[in-house]
Structure 1
């Protein structure tokens, strides 16, 4: 429960981060980096010297007392006045954005009276090149402690990006100095270690000198600034009017770095960005001024080159902002970088007016979002209760922390309510499922015992029960349970895990549960047999008295089709199957030749639950009798492994069959003859296939059977283009790409699913109608491509969310080339209506397709 709370806490603030322009916010990036909490290890804390072993560097942790040592780091040789030879160094192991430092004196159980009244800070990103910090006015010395116990926090203005930080006490030689320290900030995930730009220019505006130099740059400064970071990465973006600044008393233009086009004959400014290692870059965000009334505009074009090794790659990315904004307000411009990999990026920003002004540049690479301050801080919320930042003498900080505490309290209350609802919901579901399993087990046991001596009474019992079929499904009110697509991935596993009731139709080869489950089992049969709970797996439990044990020795293995929840699925030849079934059952093929069948085989080491589920599926399939539904022919349950034998059509599944038709067309087969009449002939032939699928689904819907995975991969093709609906697609590796995996647990065919199935976990006859519309689209396109092939799996989910939230934004599957207008407009689109009640029934679909042929 605590892990769920922390994860939701992080999710909440990640979403909040998106609302603050996705940039580093120094006011939020103020959380302890591990000196106090112990996340920074002893081996990462070093010093130039130590007074004694009991005042070594590892004891220099703020507000930390283990009972060992003398309570602080104390150097051996004190620096001279104004000097800073001695230092306490902290290695953060990676780059961090540091906004705040805290210091404390030595307490030593009340015996120590040493503290640092002043100190300086040096920092480094690589451990070799060190930079002395100074504030925006050039001051290097920081005022420290006045006593041994108070924590004194100082904002670093400007903030620094560093891995190594050194605290250097500046003291009178007559005094002893001891220090305990802490660093505050957040991890710097975009990896930028330096940028190189031309030195900023000076503007004279109405007699006022406006300086656009990078005043806090920490690299080499000459005509061009190199190997450093500065105002473009300080987390502060400029105001709309560049004459004003966030910094009190700063000169006009302070927040911006800018250039005039008069000194750039080529018409562009070149900026080079260097990173700590090779990244996969998604985009770059540049904050620009747009005061065009003063000759300042957004850049006209950005051309970015990439370098991973020693030379720049020849093919750059070019971006032009879409439209000239009418507003003069400053703004972020997002430059797409096309998922290019590089360790350095060189961008040329072309002038569109006299001046070009930047105040912030940020990168997004891979899945790492640049604004990590909120993510880091909130994920550390469990341990930030003792955060001493509340002692900062800054009213804005106190207000901010108070707001955060209030938000977290509200969030925790919501989490408690949600968890309470989920616990009760799961308890009710488990109770319903346990009742269903017990009831079904009792029924199967009664039938098994009665089979050997009351066969006729068994048939009458099944006949009386067939009228009480009902569908068991989870219902969620749309208004209360709608989830934004960005949160959907975290919730779907719960739906996938609990969305069904009885027997699962199969899983992927790695054992993840298949969401599709049959719902044909009646919940209303009398419970007179309540005391019988055992099940005899040595006899099959089908409701059809004609279902018999088939001799195993007459099955010949031909091909392994795939793996499912119960074990393996094999393609076999069944010898003498026609005679076994009798004259009343007509099957394709000669009675003298072996019959092609599919055999589902239970693993020999399967547990009791798997055996029960296997027998449940036998019971369900034994009830299905329709020309367009794959039939269960026989079983092998007298010994292990348990097997069920079903039809398998000689032309394989419909998806591959249609692909072969397409290939035949492309290679100059009969489809090249008389193009116009051929297109009509193909359309009629394909619609005939759709009519058969609609007929099979009409039969299933009459039994309240929800298929949940209707697609061409789950339809088999026999002689004369006979179509029968099956459920083998999930178990075949060939179609693994059609299923979207949720956190390694559940797999869902989201490209065929209705919005309510994706967002609410709700599967009904209407959701099967939606899937039929997609299946019809597959048929009429000859399975040339996957549905929504231009969208990623995540975008498919986003698509349903946009539609659910605001109609008119959903991307529909396009009309196939050979699809009549009335089929697409009147049938397909009606299958994809948002209101499930407005979708046609399978009876209506079958009638409409029959009339259209």
Structure 2
């Protein structure tokens, strides 16, 4: 678990600079001050003397004569003197800082203003200009203060030149720094038709790429611009996030009438051959004004000289209920290429893009975090450069930051050492056997379990794991008090239940199904590897609440469909004949009528450990009885393969069910129930989910993977909670894979579950909030669809830091204030402040009653 936490910690540090950059976060010093930029990467057009050479032009350093100063004679003849920095790779530069030559009071030279030129290949140079076309940047007013200037728009470049603009009679010296982050997209240019104009509500809307730095004629070529500036357009394309600009500024748009082919072609050139996984296109969708996201994208790939004949085609699902702008993710199927050509087909009169980002397998973490290289000036730690006031204050801030970092490192070392110590103590007392399993594991097995289980802690421990009391062998009716149950620990690939320290040694424990974590692909091979031995006695079928489950005849099961791969084996959709006799009840008053069931099967070559896990899941599921929880009906355990037979609802899972519907307009009678669904029905569904989770929480049972994909829909919109979502290939994209092993549903997980490994009832409440959001948006998009997986993890870090920088899911269009307030309360940082499922259920039940009265 420790390696997984460090992995997540590194992702948080670097997530802000992954391929889709955020200009508000991408403000790291790039190495002039810290020494990452080497002396040989700093050059100049001329120098006044060896002691004012280019290498002395580092911000906040007084080496040499204290700054870079161009030759006075050359400067008098030309206004093209420059200090050039080679960043070695493409960078997204958002901020620049300048200083004059102070030299402890011996110098008084500075640049009152300057210009910037940049290049991505060292051949073609572009002059930077602001959004109004201005090229001159105000510089320094004295030789010692640092002046920081935001580059709006930011630039994407490898080479950057500072060109002083001053009175020729005045001597100029400069010290500089660049701020930004590495440009991991690798995109060096995009080509597209020039954006067009439209008249909308008596406004002239200009949809051209204003900051494009390439050649602009009838088309845009060899440049980058607004589609890569990290700024997304608003829902209303006539408005902008930038103050004082014209309508349509944030978008590049085209009209269908100007393209006989019905599509717009764009070509994207990259710095090298990459393994592309996806492309994200931010589209406007004001369909009421004739603007929609593209109907289809067909992308061709070129790795050498010719375009490949086999393209990737993608059709996003049309949304006629939500006018919000959104990111559309186009899966590129791990195709190798150095250039991509995409044709975007119109679905209405206009198509508008504000941002396009690519993700590829070659992306790495931000190299600006790498320590300085040998032979350079000592580093000055760089925080947010906008907080720098003057030299003296900077040194005080640096001292404070160094002290804070040292304290944090000491705390981390203490925590890690405490966990290692606890783990060593735990090794002597861990028991993996329950009351019906007498297996004796070898020393190799103990080592294997020790490596893959989490560190337990007692009630006074500071371990990052909390006790989560699960449904164990001492199960009692909800109306009776529950004894203290076993302790749960999350691991990367299995869940382990240990007896609490204060329980009698003979008290048995049980293992819970792994709802939130997938089976390891090679788990079976690992378990049966050489040197690993297991001795066990046969395990009898565990009794349910009403007695032992009966053996169901396999011949009465008719295969209908394979639902997917489960943890233990396959999951099949089947028809069961005569199931009513085994349930000892008459379903819907019809006897012997086949009913749909889900059949989980165990691999025939499964190890005895895996067989025991399978039987333990049967035991737990056999004791769950609630109208909103999927019920275990029967089993097949007398011969291989072992099977458990559970309910399956005829309308499938809630995610697919809602995605086929659209929201019924208020006040309109529901005529076509196959395509529309009312808001009151959505609330009724959410209330049922809350009811099922209230039942589980009353048993101190933690689900760990609550989502619409894990809820099934029956007749009359009946909802039952299940755990099939993990097994279906359809939802593989909902889970985040860590180094090719454990997978986690991070978009539904609370911050403490991701960062600290805590799975509690409060983390299930968090997941319910996301599930409620899914329900009210009719599952039209994945939660946080505009964020990559690593950005989602970074966002959880913002919840932990609690500096009001965290991003919440947007409010659904049909969500009233009361429900939205309930939804947000599920995502409170403090787990103790989140509502209980009993409160959630009663609130939704009252809201449903109010709707029925209306």
Give the TM-score, by structure 1 length: 0.53
Hey, what's the Cα distance between the residues in 2 that align with 1:202 and 1:757?
A: 62
Give the aligned partner of residue 849 of structure 1.
Answer: 844
1:272-329 deviations in whole A, cap 9, x for unaligned?
441699xxxxx9xx9985248799998886834359xxx96177515799689xxxxx
Hey, what's the Cα distance between the residues in 1 that align with 2:844 and 2:402?
A: 61
Q: Is 1:303 the counterpart of 2:211 in the alignment?
A: yes
Hey, what's the Cα distance between the residues in 2 that align with 1:252 and 1:289?
A: 17
Contact 1:701 1:765 (8 Å CA) reproduced: yes
Residues 287 and 702 (structure 1), Cα distance of their counterparts in 2 relative to 1, 3 Å cut: farther
Residues 755 and 513 (structure 1), Cα distance of their counterparts in 2 relative to 1, 3 Å cut: farther
Contact 1:563 1:732 (8 Å CA) reproduced: yes
Secondary structure (helix, strand or coil) at the match of 1:305 reads coil
Contact 1:98 1:156 (8 Å CA) reproduced: no
Give the aligned partner of residue 780 of structure 2.
Answer: 784
Alignment of 1:680-719 (within 5 A): 682-719=678-715
Give the aligned partner of residue 835 of structure 2.
Answer: 840
Hey, what's the Cα distance between the residues in 2 that align with 1:376 and 1:470?
A: 50
Hey, what's the Cα distance between the residues in 2 that align with 1:557 and 1:575?
A: 12
Give the aligned partner of residue 563 of structure 2.
Answer: 561
Residues 273 and 424 (structure 1), Cα distance of their counterparts in 2 relative to 1, 3 Å cut: same
Hey, what's the Cα distance between the residues in 1 that align with 2:243 and 2:768?
A: 42
Hey, what's the Cα distance between the residues in 2 that align with 1:610 and 1:712?
A: 28
Contact 2:707 2:770 (8 Å CA) reproduced: yes
Give the aligned partner of residue 764 of structure 1.
Answer: 760
Contact 1:512 1:746 (8 Å CA) reproduced: no
Secondary structure (helix, strand or coil) at the match of 2:39 reads strand
Give the aligned partner of residue 142 of structure 1.
Answer: none
Quote the offset at 1:8 in angstroms: 12
1:421 to 418, 423, 426: 418
Hey, what's the Cα distance between the residues in 2 that align with 1:202 and 1:818?
A: 68
Hey, what's the Cα distance between the residues in 2 that align with 1:270 and 1:756?
A: 46
1:194-229 deviations in whole A, cap 9, x for unaligned?
xxxxxx99999xxx96975436779xxxxxxxxx99
2:138 to 282, 290, 304: 290
Contact 1:780 1:816 (8 Å CA) reproduced: yes
1:309-353 deviations in whole A, cap 9, x for unaligned?
xx96177515799689xxxxxxxxxx999x995479xxxxxxxxx
Residues 769 and 441 (structure 1), Cα distance of their counterparts in 2 relative to 1, 3 Å cut: same
Hey, what's the Cα distance between the residues in 2 that align with 1:846 and 1:823?
A: 12
Contact 1:444 1:541 (8 Å CA) reproduced: no
1:585-628 deviations in whole A, cap 9, x for unaligned?
34358422322111111112222322221111111101111121
1:643-678 deviations in whole A, cap 9, x for unaligned?
111111111111222223329x69xx974689xxx9
Give the aligned partner of residue 25 of structure 1.
Answer: 31
Quote the offset at 1:813 in angstroms: 3.3
Hey, what's the Cα distance between the residues in 2 that align with 1:9 and 1:159?
A: 36
Hey, what's the Cα distance between the residues in 1 that align with 2:26 and 2:694?
A: 52
Alignment of 1:252-651 (within 5 A): 252=109, 258=115, 272-274=119-121, 290-291=138-139, 303-306=211-214, 313=221, 316-318=224-226, 342=269, 372=367, 375=370, 377=372, 416-427=413-424, 434-435=430-431, 437-442=432-437, 468=482, 470=484, 502-505=511-514, 511=520, 536-537=537-538, 539-544=540-545, 545-582=547-584, 585-587=585-587, 590-651=590-651
Hey, what's the Cα distance between the residues in 2 that align with 1:756 and 1:764?
A: 10
Q: Is 1:795 the counterpart of 2:662 in the alignment?
A: no
Residues 288 and 508 (structure 1), Cα distance of their counterparts in 2 relative to 1, 3 Å cut: farther
Secondary structure (helix, strand or coil) at the match of 2:512 reads coil
Task: Let me know the Cα RMSD of the aligned residues.
Answer: 6.2
Residues 312 and 336 (structure 1), Cα distance of their counterparts in 2 relative to 1, 3 Å cut: closer
Secondary structure (helix, strand or coil) at the match of 1:313 reads strand
Hey, what's the Cα distance between the residues in 1 that align with 2:105 and 2:487?
A: 63
Q: Is 1:739 the counterpart of 2:735 in the alignment?
A: yes
Residues 303 and 14 (structure 1), Cα distance of their counterparts in 2 relative to 1, 3 Å cut: closer
Hey, what's the Cα distance between the residues in 1 that align with 2:819 and 2:679?
A: 11
Hey, what's the Cα distance between the residues in 2 that align with 1:155 and 1:2?
A: 49
Secondary structure (helix, strand or coil) at the match of 2:434 reads helix
Residues 418 and 16 (structure 1), Cα distance of their counterparts in 2 relative to 1, 3 Å cut: farther
Quote the offset at 1:748 in angstroms: 2.0
1:214 to 81, 89, 92: 81
Contact 1:628 1:693 (8 Å CA) reproduced: yes
Hey, what's the Cα distance between the residues in 2 that align with 1:276 and 1:642?
A: 68
Alignment of 1:162-241 (within 5 A): 213-214=80-81, 240=98
1:388-418 deviations in whole A, cap 9, x for unaligned?
9999xxxxxxx9xxx9999999898666534
Quote the offset at 1:559 in angstroms: 0.9
Contact 2:575 2:597 (8 Å CA) reproduced: yes
Secondary structure (helix, strand or coil) at the match of 1:303 reads coil
1:482-510 deviations in whole A, cap 9, x for unaligned?
xxxxxxxxxxx977877877333357887
2:718 to 706, 716, 722: 722
Quote the offset at 1:845 in angstroms: 2.5
1:412-468 deviations in whole A, cap 9, x for unaligned?
866653431231344466667x42x323544999xxxxxxxxxxxxxx997699854
Contact 1:571 1:596 (8 Å CA) reproduced: yes
Give the aligned partner of residue 99 of structure 1.
Answer: 39
Quote the offset at 1:830 in angstroms: 3.0
Hey, what's the Cα distance between the residues in 1 that align with 2:148 and 2:4?
A: 49
Contact 2:492 2:517 (8 Å CA) reproduced: no
Secondary structure (helix, strand or coil) at the match of 2:211 reads strand
Quote the offset at 1:558 in angstroms: 1.2
Give the aligned partner of residue 64 of structure 1.
Answer: none
Hey, what's the Cα distance between the residues in 1 that align with 2:26 and 2:106?
A: 26
Quote the offset at 1:571 in angstroms: 0.8
Contact 2:777 2:812 (8 Å CA) reproduced: yes
1:82-116 deviations in whole A, cap 9, x for unaligned?
xxxxxxxxxxxxxxx6538xxxxxxxxxxxxxxxx
